[in-house]
Amino acid sequence: MHPPVCVVIPTYNEAANVEGIVRATIAELERLVPDAHRVLIVDDNSPDGTGAIADRLAEATPQVEVLHRAAKTGLGHAYLAGFRHALSSDAELVIEMDADFSHDPRYLEPMLAAAQTADLVLGSRYVEGGGVQDWGIVRRLISRGGGLYARLILGVPIRDLTGGFKCIHRRVLETIQLETIRAEGYVFQIEVTYRTLLAGFKVTEVPIVFRDRTVGTSKMSGRIAAEAMWAVPVLKRTAPAAVAGRNRAPDAIGSRDDG
């Protein structure tokens, strides 16, 4: 019996994508964990009607739930709301996933397999077998450079710190003090992984190929990318206190990269 899985998909103006990604995700979960899965759409009051489409999907599909938020206050806040909702139920594995098909549902299989021995599984663009498609040179440099910068500042071996395709065990989310996370965008993703490492959990990376969206508009901005430059050093100082009190091996951070 597989532990219950909840896939959290945040949406804002994803009317063109939400039905397709939810149906593709449900189909994959039906194959992998037929008796223990659901998809939670977290919609930030999208003006394009995404929320109404999500509601129709939930009415027609028992495995789909919708969490409506009053306003768009950032990706990190949307994920935190989704995590809290998932933890209030029986979910043992919580998966972060984009709505725009950048994260292919076919990678759920290797991620769930890796979660049998790891506490946090990252869908990684930057380990062997991973990659990105349809990005220009500037975006590639920003992504690579931002990840390398965070890796060096934090002193961790993880190759893809900024990625948003994650499979997280309940025990991790219950330990890393979600209520104190304030970061958004890239830094939110970095902080979740960094706190997981600080708490002594095992983190592993599995390769994915990230494809740029073909429909809709990217929500990532230069401001969010620039936030990482000053926020990562702050994270280095503040995150240890947030997870203090949990016993861990002295070399926990340096020993957790399986990628």
Q: Rounded to an integer, what distance in angstroms lies between the CA atom of residue 61 and that of residue 10? A: 18
Is residue 209 a contact partner of residue 131, using CB atoms and an 8 Å limit?
yes
In Å, what is the CA distance from 5 to each residue of 49, 81, 220?
27, 16, 27
The pLDDT of residue 252? 42
The pLDDT of residue 236? 94
Sketch the domain layout of the chain as residue ranges: 5-255
The pLDDT of residue 255? 38
The pLDDT of residue 246? 54
pLDDT tens digits along 194-221 = 999 999 999 999 999 999 866 655 545 5
The pLDDT of residue 177? 94
- Strand bridging mode 37-43 / 5-11: parallel
Query: How many other CB atoms are found less than 10 A from the CB of residue 111?
Result: 23
- 5-255 CATH: 3.90.550.10
Q: Rounded to an integer, what distance in angstroms lies between the CA atom of residue 95 and that of residue 69? A: 19
Q: Rounded to an integer, what distance in angstroms lies between the CA atom of residue 43 and that of residue 46? A: 7
The pLDDT of residue 122? 98
The pLDDT of residue 247? 47
Residues 6 or more apart in contact with residue 215 via CB below 8 angstroms: 16, 17, 100
- Collect the ranges in the chain with pLDDT lower than 70: 1, 213-225, 245-259
Burial grade of 55 (CB within 10 A; 0-12, 13-18, 19 or more): middle
Would you mind telling me the total number of residues written for the chain in this entry? 259
Is residue 82 a contact partner of residue 42, using CB atoms and an 8 Å limit?
yes
The pLDDT of residue 253? 40
